[in-house]
């Protein structure tokens, strides 16, 4: 009996329906938090990621788009929480298709063949963001034709694939956490801090756009609740946030203060950043395909839209379905972030 089956046996008889859970994409901040929370709640956890990691649970290494890897990863589990994705502002469309669309399709097929009961697809509100402001909305339908950028388009297509498989025998829900951040975050926090430190982080339109974000512990908690409340959540897409919309400039200033770097001191018109972002992103992608560039571009049209348009969401339906509320406020999260940076120093 391995660690996974021992944990599953120990968890048997505890409250809940799915006790053996596969979590994909645990090399990222949110995936790790989800796996850790499941582990703490007594679930038997198996993880799947491309690179080898040292975890207190069983781990499978490989690509989610590989049918053999997917089949091995889902063998013997009751439920899947699928976070693995290619997340980038730039890149080749075929790379997004391979991981985000083909990978999701392979995992869905393998899960159904293995008799998995529940499937939580971790999506993004960007699948229903088409460039204009979102003000107090719920989870609109995913639309790969209108979503902005390769990441959002591919995630929209993957969400459609996942929800199309929902049935009484194979329940599927899509959880869309919005702008997840916290200590150790390399997707948002680290980029903000590095660019602010270098003086390369402008505000767009004075940083006035009102946006929602999600502290990582809250995002992980909501995702796990999506699994535990599958009876009510299946067949639906649910946007998850802290429910505390704030001006983007205020949030960026809070992150900078936590890290001990100067906040942005200048502003650029949003229309100008959007236009420049389109040009930069095309040039950056072309250069990257020849091996010249290994980092994200300083601006893309998608990023400019995110920084210059309002996007905050009505959380009443999400919180009702999940019987969940955030446990960490924005201010508490910033305090945790500041403590993390003090420890680093």
For the stretch 146-167, pLDDT in tens is 998 899 999 999 999 999 999 9
pLDDT 10s digits, 306-324: 677 888 899 999 999 999 9
Give the containing element (helix H, strand E) for 171. Answer: strand 171-177
Pairing of strands 246-247, 210-211: antiparallel
Set 151, 215, 232, 341: catalytic member: 151
Answer whether residue 57 is part of any domain.
Answer: yes
- Mean pLDDT check: name the lowest of 27-41, 95-109, 197-211: 197-211
Q: Is residue 12 part of a domain?
A: yes
pLDDT at 301: 60
In a domain, 222, yes or no: yes
Q: Does residue 151 fall inside a structural domain?
A: yes
Q: Where residue 131 falls among pLDDT bands split at 50, 70, 90?
A: confident
What is the sign, positive or negative, of the torsion defined by CA atoms of 86, 175, 75, 158? negative
Answer yes or no: is 44 within a domain: yes
Mean pLDDT, rounded, for 277-302: 56
CA distances (Å), 283 to each of 149, 252, 292, 297, 299, in order? Answer: 15, 27, 11, 9, 11
**Domain annotation covers residue 160:** yes
Distance CA 199, CA 314 (A): 35
Q: What domain range includes position 64?
A: 3-181+213-243+312-328
Q: Name the pairing type of β-strands 20-24 and 79-82.
A: parallel
User: Domain tally for the chain?
Assistant: 1
Asked if the model's pLDDT at residue 236 lies above 80, the reply is: yes
The per-residue pLDDT of the chain, averaged, comes to: 86
Percent over 90 (pLDDT), the chain: 62
Of residues 198 and 321, more confidence is placed in 321
Residue 195: HSE in the Cβ half-sphere, 13 Å Cα cutoff: 21
Q: For the domain that residue 226 is a member of, what is the CATH number?
A: 3.40.50.720
**Is there a domain that residue 144 lies in?**
yes
pLDDT in tens, 33-80: 999 999 999 999 999 988 766 677 888 999 999 999 999 999 999 999
Q: Is 151 a catalytic residue?
A: yes
Tokens of 50: 């491309």
Q: Is residue 248 part of a domain?
A: no
For residue 326, what are its two tokens? Answer: 């955030």
């Amino acid at each position: 009996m391995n660690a996974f089956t021992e944990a599953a046996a120990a968890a048997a008889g505890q409250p809940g329906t799915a006790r053996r859970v596969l979590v994909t994409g645990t090399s990222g901040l949110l995936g790790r938090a989800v796996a850790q929370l499941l582990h703490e709640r007594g679930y038997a956890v198996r993880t799947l990621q491309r690179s080898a990691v040292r975890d207190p649970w069983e781990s499978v290494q490989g690509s989610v788009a590989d049918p053999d890897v997917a089949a091995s990863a889902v063998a013997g589990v009751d439920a899947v929480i699928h976070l693995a994705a290619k997340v980038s502002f730039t890149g080749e469309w075929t790379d997004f298709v391979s991981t985000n669309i083909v990978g999701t399709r392979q995992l869905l097929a393998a899960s159904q063949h293995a008799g998995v009961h529940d499937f939580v697809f971790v999506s993004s509100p960007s699948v229903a963001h088409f460039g204009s402001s979102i003000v107090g909305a719920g989870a609109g339908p995913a639309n790969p034709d209108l979503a902005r950028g390769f990441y959002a388009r591919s995630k929209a297509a993957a969400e459609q694939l996942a929800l199309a498989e929902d049935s009484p025998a194979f329940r599927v829900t899509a959880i869309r956490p919005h702008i997840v951040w916290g200590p150790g975050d390399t997707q948002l926090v680290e980029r903000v801090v590095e660019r602010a430190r270098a003086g390369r982080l402008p505000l767009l339109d004075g940083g006035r756009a009102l946006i929602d974000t999600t502290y990582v512990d809250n995002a992980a908690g909501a995702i796990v609740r999506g699994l535990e409340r599958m009876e009510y959540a299946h067949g639906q897409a649910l946007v998850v946030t802290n429910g505390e919309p704030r001006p983007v400039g205020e949030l960026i200033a809070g992150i900078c203060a936590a890290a001990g770097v100067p906040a942005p001191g200048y502003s650029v018109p949003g229309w100008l950043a959007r236009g420049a972002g389109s040009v930069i992103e095309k040039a950056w992608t072309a250069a990257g395909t020849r091996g010249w560039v290994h980092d994200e571009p300083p601006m893309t049209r998608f990023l400019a839209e995110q920084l210059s348009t309002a996007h905050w969401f009505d959380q009443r339906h999400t919180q009702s379905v999940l019987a969940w509320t955030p446990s960490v406020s924005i201010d508490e999260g910033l305090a945790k972030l500041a403590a993390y940076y003090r420890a680093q120093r």
